[in-house]
């Protein structure tokens, strides 16, 4: 799924008027701190080797309606109701009588989290939600939790003068995990969950194993620094450095190859 393919939902009143859907790419400021809603069709199956997979196909937006295939199913998405609150929403569909492939969406608040209200009768529903966040967390929740936990370790946590794990390393590690999730999702293979280790210099290391291959990505404490990579195949060791999170894909490709 192309994460830059956004559908933006506008705030709605409690009266439940169906939201107007518009296609657009947010500005840098709008994007900061928000998840992006991409309604999508989920296709689940089993590969010939028995691994289960989920392919998420973004829907195509036309005008203010979404044109989808008739087998679109409602789903639960993680979403943000505002900058301050987090809510889960159920999205349902209603078939329009005139066009059998066009759907309108109505959004209901399903969980009892407080919402950030703009006025007495107004409430801010999810402006943007990223469908892949729910799927990502269903696979990587333990990894994300461990990152949070190792961030709480105090100085000298290893008794050999290790420093605290930096905030930047924590953020970057989650970004790399998300890149990993997206990359592997596109291959239709099963997700391989890495081991998360704290680094004495305040960074975070992600470690994968598949068959005879091992991959380590060492995320430095500062985002100015490059990431160190180690690939191991049997007794063959290769080290590299990379600058961008997206560079991780080539090493994941190596790991996933038979």
Partner 1 sequence: MSEKKETIEIANDDKLYRKIRAEYIKNDEVSSQAFYQRDEDLSVSIANLSNLEEQFPNPDFGLAEIEAGFVRNLELEVCHDPTPEDPGHAIVCGRINKTKARKIARAAMLIRKPG
Catalog residues that contact partner 1 under the rule CB under 8 A. 146, 149-150, 153, 157-160, 195, 197-201, 205, 207, 214, 216, 218, 228, 230, 232, 237, 239
* Shortest separation between residue 228's beta carbon and partner 1, angstroms: 6
Q: Which is nearer to partner 1, 71 or 243 (CB)?
A: 243
Q: Which is nearer to partner 1, 101 or 144 (CB)?
A: 144
CA distance 230 to 169: 18
* Shortest separation between residue 21's beta carbon and partner 1, angstroms: 45
214 burial type by CB count under 10 A (0-12 exposed, 13-18 middle, 19+ buried) = middle
- DSSP output for 111-128: S------SSSSEE---SB
Q: Which is nearer to partner 1, 130 or 216 (CB)?
A: 216
8 A C-beta contact, residue 171 and residue 33: no
Q: How many helices (H) and strands (E) would you count in the chain?
A: 4, 16
DSSP E strands in the chain: the ranges are 7-9, 12-13, 21-23, 40-46, 52-58, 60-62, 65-67, 75-80, 86-95, 102-109, 122-123, 195-198, 204-210, 213-219, 227-233, 236-242
* Shortest separation between residue 207's beta carbon and partner 1, angstroms: 6
Q: Which is nearer to partner 1, 6 or 208 (CB)?
A: 208
Q: Which is nearer to partner 1, 38 or 255 (CB)?
A: 255
Token readout for 81 is: 């109701």
* Shortest separation between residue 218's beta carbon and partner 1, angstroms: 7
Q: Which is nearer to partner 1, 144 or 232 (CB)?
A: 232
* Shortest separation between residue 160's beta carbon and partner 1, angstroms: 5
Residues linked to residue 138 through DSSP beta bridges, in sequence order: none
* Shortest separation between residue 153's beta carbon and partner 1, angstroms: 8
8 A C-beta contact, residue 16 and residue 125: no
């Amino acid at each position: 799924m192309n994460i830059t393919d956004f559908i933006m939902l506008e705030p709605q009143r409690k009266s439940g008027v169906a939201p107007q859907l518009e296609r657009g790419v947010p500005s840098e400021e709008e994007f900061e701190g928000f998840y992006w809603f991409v309604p999508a069709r989920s296709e689940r199956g089993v590969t010939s080797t028995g691994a289960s997979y989920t392919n998420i196909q973004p829907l195509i937006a036309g005008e203010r309606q979404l044109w989808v295939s008739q087998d679109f199913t409602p789903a639960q998405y993680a979403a943000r109701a505002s900058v301050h609150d987090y809510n889960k929403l159920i999205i349902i569909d209603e078939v329009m009588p005139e066009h059998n492939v066009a759907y309108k969406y109505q959004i209901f608040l399903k969980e009892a989290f407080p919402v950030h209200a703009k006025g007495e009768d107004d409430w801010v529903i999810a402006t943007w939600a990223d469908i892949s966040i729910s799927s990502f967390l269903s696979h990587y929740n333990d990894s994300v939790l461990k990152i949070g936990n190792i961030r709480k370790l105090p100085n000298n946590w290893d008794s050999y003068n290790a420093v605290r794990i930096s905030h930047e390393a924590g953020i970057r590690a989650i970004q790399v995990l998300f890149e990993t999730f997206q990359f592997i999702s596109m291959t239709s293979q099963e997700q391989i969950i890495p081991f998360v280790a704290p680094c004495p210099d305040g960074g975070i290391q992600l470690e994968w194993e598949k068959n005879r291959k091992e991959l380590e990505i060492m995320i430095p404490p500062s985002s100015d620094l490059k990431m160190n990579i180690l690939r191991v195949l049997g007794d063959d060791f290769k080290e590299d450095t990379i600058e961008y999170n997206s560079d991780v894909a080539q090493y994941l490709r190596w790991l996933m190859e038979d």
